[in-house]
Amino acid sequence: MDTSRNRSPGTESPQFIGRAVATLAGDPNLMQKTEKTLIVAELAREYGFRDLDGMLPPVLSVSAVRKRFKA
């Protein structure tokens, strides 16, 4: 089922989040990610997956903004 037409621009599909869960489930180093807040857009860049429409949402975490504007 393609839900991309019903989404607002810049949002993630439920399948995108599911891809993150499935990818993490298959990661042999999963325990290194425990007790952390994980951002799906960051995981997509790390593991190389995209949303159904090929989109790679921007990372909007505070740490990403700090890195971008670091002097």
- Evaluate if pTM is beyond 0.85: no
- Our count of domains for the chain comes to 1
pLDDT at 40: 94
Question: Which residue range(s) make up the domain with 35?
Answer: 4-68
| Cα–Cα dist 19/67, whole Å | 26
Contact 33, 24 (CB under 8 A): yes
Residues near 4 by beta carbon (within 8 Å), at least 6 away in sequence: 13, 51, 52, 53
Q: Please give the pLDDT value at position 9.
A: 66
- pLDDT tens, residue order, the chain (71 aa): 555 566 666 678 999 999 999 999 999 999 999 999 999 999 999 999 999 999 998 887 777 677 777 75
pLDDT of residue 35: 94
